[in-house]
Amino acid sequence: MKRVSFTNFILALALIIGGTFLLLANLDVISLEMWQLFSYSYPFILLVVGLKFILDSILKRDDHWGLGVLTSVFATLLIMDRFEWITFTAGDIWLLWPLILVIIGFRIFLSKGTKPKVEIIFDDDHHDESFKRKKSAIGDYSFTNSDWAVEPMNLWNAVGDYKFDFTKAFIPEKDTPFKLSGIVGDVKILMPENVAFRVEANVKTGDIRILDQKADGFNRVMSYQTPDYETSTRKVTFYINLKVGNIRLDRV
């Protein structure tokens, strides 16, 4: 049986209990008072989940501290409402939107000037690669200068575009992987005719265009590799994942 993380366990348990209470209340199996008991207590479950996110971020298990802060603040306000210290309901969550700006600001501040190197796993072909890992909240990545050096990269951008012109690059005689991720933005790649490549692209909302192939809409996924990819010694492999945006790769 697959092991479930603590956070997923709490979320799953909350959904199961909440759904069961709603179902039984609708079928008049339980009284309204029992449903009110769950309505009173669920903010405490949310608070545990939010604090767990923050703790995991402090211990470097993941990078979900922003979500943890948002969940914890929301749960705390609901708990204060339960004790009648303030008036705040679940429908008032939209009032917390300025907190998102504060979290983004802290992310920009904390990520400024950091350029760590880490080892990440893309697939079986690249498990030994050491990648340059960069993260930014807002901004563009542009690799269009003459003779820029192609090396393995893992780039993440919350809001911004990626631009790569490999016709101006120095491409080594090996398979060089790139991982490009982001929330909102576009990816534009220009490849020379004599370089093999493979693309694994995924976008939740937007379109993907690789040479003459195109996919648009929601939850679009596209895989493509040049006919000479497997036999070439000099090639580039792209792993691209966007929430909202466009991915385009052309050849000249």
pLDDT in tens, 156-169: 888 788 999 999 99
Q: Which helix (H) or strand (E) holds 241?
A: strand 235-251
Q: What is the mean pLDDT of the chain?
A: 78
pLDDT computed for residue 188 by the predictor: 94
Q: Are residues 124 and 46 in the same domain?
A: no
Q: Are residues 170 and 88 in the same domain?
A: no
pLDDT computed for residue 11 by the predictor: 60
Q: How confident is the model at residue 128 (pLDDT cuts 50, 70, 90)?
A: very low
CB 221 within 8 A of CB 199: no
Task: Please give the residue range of the domain that contains residue 138.
Answer: 117-251
CA nearest to 177, candidates 251, 240, 242, 246: 240
pLDDT computed for residue 161 by the predictor: 87
- Which of the listed residues 67, 93, 111 is the one where a domain comes to its end? 111
- Which of the listed residues 111, 137, 161 is the one where a domain comes to its end? 111
Q: Are residues 103 and 136 in the same domain?
A: no
Q: Are residues 64 and 151 in the same domain?
A: no
pLDDT in tens, 46-63: 888 888 877 777 766 556
In a domain, 1, yes or no: no
Q: Which helix (H) or strand (E) holds 45?
A: helix 32-58
For residues 119-126, give the mean pLDDT: 45
Handedness of CA 42, 49, 91, 25 (dihedral sign): negative
Q: Name the more confident of 39 and 136.
A: 39
Q: Are residues 143 and 103 in the same domain?
A: no
Q: Is the pTM of this model over 0.95?
A: no
The answer, yes or no, to whether residue 67 has pLDDT greater than 60, is yes
Q: How confident is the model at residue 118 (pLDDT cuts 50, 70, 90)?
A: very low
The answer, yes or no, to whether residue 6 has pLDDT greater than 70, is no
CA nearest to 252, candidates 209, 199, 207, 195: 195
Q: Are residues 165 and 104 in the same domain?
A: no
For residues 11-35, give the mean pLDDT: 68
Q: Are residues 10 and 44 in the same domain?
A: yes
The answer, yes or no, to whether residue 183 has pLDDT greater than 80, is yes
Cross-strand bridge partners of residue 225: 198
Could you tell me the two tokens for 101? 């700006």
In a domain, 37, yes or no: yes
The answer, yes or no, to whether residue 240 has pLDDT greater than 80, is yes
Place of tokens 């350029």: 115
- Which of the listed residues 111, 138, 160 is the one where a domain comes to its end? 111
Handedness of CA 223, 132, 64, 137 (dihedral sign): negative
pLDDT in tens, 223-232: 999 999 999 9
